[in-house]
Amino acid sequence: MLCGIDEAGRGPLAGPLVVAGAIIKKSIKGLNDSKVLSEKKREALFDEIKNNCEYHIVFTDAKTLDEKGLSTCLKNSIKEIMQTLNDKADEFLMDGNTSFGIQTLQHKIKADATVMEVSAASILAKVSRDRYMCKIAEDFPNYNFEKHKGYGTKAHVQKIKEFGRCEEHRYSFKLKALDEDNQPTLF
């Protein structure tokens, strides 16, 4: 059986990296890359995927991303998924152009749009991350995380200018809009 793997949250300025793995047990209609589906469609598919798949979802917080780096955190998340689902899958396929040096991990560009298992993982990761960002928006009302989900929108950058960064922000991500190009990372 194939386990599809995908991530959400590689590039935002705030919030976690979320990586999901999914093995489909029963056919699910309407799967596609989470980025091309509406929020309503992703939400509708989320529970159906959870009910018809073996899956594992890994969250890595912003502080760990700053400390270990994005590539290491992605690799560690993939390894955790592979270890957790190893007895249920005999193949692992990651969306993208790299296997992160993991010998038994295959990779394919646009797999999230062409391979059902990777599409399912894409939706699990995206919805899990979006729900997390909406939940923390209550604790950090100055940033409107529920609207931009931590991505570097003009409105989000303006909020960082106004209020500085909070513990959910990635301090290692430098912003030209804040003249942070060549400044050292300060914790």
Domain contains 145: no
Residue 186's pLDDT is 43
CB 168 within 8 A of CB 66: no
CB 111 within 8 A of CB 126: no
Domain contains 81: yes
Q: Lowest-pLDDT range, 46-60, 113-127, 165-179?
A: 165-179
Q: Provide the 10 A C-beta neighbour count for residue 118.
A: 28
Q: Is 65's pLDDT higher than 70?
A: yes
Q: What pTM value is reported for the model?
A: 0.92
Domain contains 126: yes
What are the structure tokens assigned to 64, written together? 């760990």
> Per-residue pLDDT tens for 139-156?
999 999 999 999 999 999
Residue 95's pLDDT is 96
What are the structure tokens assigned to 65, written together? 């991303």
Residue 117's pLDDT is 98
CB-based contacts of 68, cutoff 8 Å, min separation 6? 76
Domain contains 174: no
Number of domains in the chain: 1
Domain holding 47, by residue range, is: 2-137
Taking phi over 0 as left and psi of -120 to 50 as alpha, with beta for the rest, 144 belongs to left
Domain contains 156: no
CATH of the domain at 124: 3.30.420.10
Domain contains 144: no
Domain contains 167: no
Q: Which residue has the higher pLDDT, 180 or 82?
A: 82
Domain contains 54: yes
Instruction: Round the average pLDDT of the chain to a whole number and report it.
Output: 93
